[in-house]
Amino acid sequence: MTGWLVVALLAVSIASLAWGASEASVFTVLGKLWRGEELSAVERVVMVNIRMPRLFMGMLVGAGLAVSGAILQGLFRNPLADPGIVGVTAGGSLGAISAIVLGSLLPAGVLAVTSGWLVALAAFFGAWISTLLLYRVATRDGRTSVATMLLAGIALAALAAAISGLLVFRASDAQLRDLTFWSMGSLAGATWSRVLAALPIVALALTASPLLSHGLNGIALGEAAAMHMGVEVQRTKTLAILWVAAATGLAVAVAGGIGFVGIVVPHLLRLATGPDHTPLLPNAALLGAILLIAADMISRTVVAPAELPIGIVTAVLGAPVFLWILLRRRGLVGLE
């Protein structure tokens, strides 16, 4: 399975480099490189400075969101948990908006150190706090109530949206412009420096994944059973929540709210290879990357030269899957 996903990722990456609003195509570029010809300035800019960073950012964001979904679902023992649905993304957005509107109030020294990172950091903290709150509200004695989780998610998202609204209301014109660009939710702003800034977070997260998969497999049996099977339950939960906050915060900071990747990808993979988290987490990273690159291709080609926000594309693909799971597994939501 993993091998096929790698092949598919390569294929979709090449396609993503090949298609776009500009005429420059990866094939003509490769052909020129092969023949030793010089690339035109346009080709160089389009390939190297626009499409490639965008492709890599898409990979990072897609992988992060899909693995976040799989981890949240493992943590809550529930296939319906998704950062977008349970309010984690809204918390991250509130963090990002706070940074854009209130960031200038920070002491100059802090601003100098965090410049470029401030929105991402704030989004991380927003996502982290909302995940922690959600876990506290929805989980008692290691058991999560689905209804409480979904309802708490709605409440958290509403609260975050209300505070975000207040902040937007008092934002200056320049800040409003920044907010508008940020909230359009697109990978168009991807640059090499941003990709490089995101890399260490993703690298750290990927090293933590194997530790998490053993713990999450244990937690599938319940927290007490996990402890009896040698899982450091508290450490697993802390790590899982930090992971989700980091990946969701990153995704929100660079691309705004992108929903449903975290629910579609793990669900499809569980159908194919079962619920064991050991293959699930790495495969989710690959399929998440594939899905987001594909969604990005759709978002920038269907109405070219304009762009659809990528969140619209993922929602159109993902919402029906969410409903399908809900209908197929009614027992989870107390309908059986």
Partner 1 sequence: MIEAHDITVRLGQRDTLKGIDLVAAPGQVTAIVGPNGSGKTTFLRALTGELKAHGTITLNGRALQSIPVGELAGLRAVLPQAVRMAFPFTVTEVVRLGLRAGLSAGRDGLILQALEAVGTVDLADRPYPDLSGGEQQRVQLARVLAQVWEPVADGIPRWLFLDEPVSSLDPGHQFTVINTVRTFAARGGGVIAVMHDLNLTAIMADKVVVLKDGRVAAMGAPCEVMTEEILSDVYNCPLRPGLMPAGTVPFLLPQSSPLAM
Nearer to partner 1, 142 or 309 (CB): 142
The least distance separating partner 1 from the CB of residue 72, rounded to whole angstroms, comes to: 12
What is the footprint of partner 1 within residues 43-82 (CB under 8 A)?
73, 77-79
Q: Mind giving me the DSSP string for 200-230?
A: HHHHHHHHHHHHHHHHHHHHTT-HHHHHHTT
Query: 10 Å Cβ neighbour count for 301?
Result: 14
Question: Is residue 161 close enough to count as binding partner 1 by CB under 8 A?
Answer: no
Cβ at position 127, least distance to partner 1 in Å = 23
- What residues from 221 to 250 belong to the interface with partner 1 (CB under 8 A)? 221-222, 224-225, 227-232
Q: Nearest approach, Cβ of 279 to partner 1 (angstroms)?
A: 11
Binding to partner 1 by residue 189, rule CB under 8 A? no
With 0-12 / 13-18 / 19 or more C-beta atoms within 10 angstroms meaning exposed / middle / buried, residue 266 is buried
In the bound state with partner 1, the residue whose beta carbon lies nearer, of 23 and 336, is 336
Q: Is 332 in the site for partner 1 (CB under 8 A)?
A: yes
CB of 77 to partner 1, least distance (A): 4
Nearer to partner 1, 173 or 336 (CB): 336
End-to-end CA distance of the chain: 34
Site for partner 1 in 268-307 (CB under 8 A): 270, 274-276
**β-pair partners for 143:** 140
Listed in sequence order, the DSSP H helices in the chain are 2-18, 26-35, 41-44, 52-76, 88-102, 108-114, 118-138, 146-169, 173-183, 192-219, 223-228, 233-255, 261-273, 277-301, 310-328
CA count, 13 A, side-chain hemisphere, 129:
15
Decide if residue 220 touches partner 1 (CB under 8 A): yes
Token output for 163: 């505070």
Q: How far is the CB of 91 from partner 1 (least distance, A)?
A: 24
Q: Which of 20, 218, 256, 288 touches partner 1 (CB under 8 A)?
A: 218
Residue 306: beta bridge partners?
none
- 194/267 with CB nearer partner 1: 267
CB 1 within 8 A of CB 279: yes
Nearer Cβ to partner 1 (37/276): 276
Between CA 225 and CA 221 the distance in angstroms is: 6
User: What's at 283, amino acid-wise?
Assistant: N
- Minimum Å gap between C-beta 230 and partner 1 is 3
Name the minimum Å distance from CB 78 to partner 1: 6
Task: Choose, by CB under 8 A, the member of 132, 137, 159, 214 that binds partner 1.
Answer: 214
- Residues forming contacts to partner 1 in the complex (CB under 8 A) are 73, 77-79, 214, 217-218, 220-222, 224-225, 227-232, 270, 274-276, 332
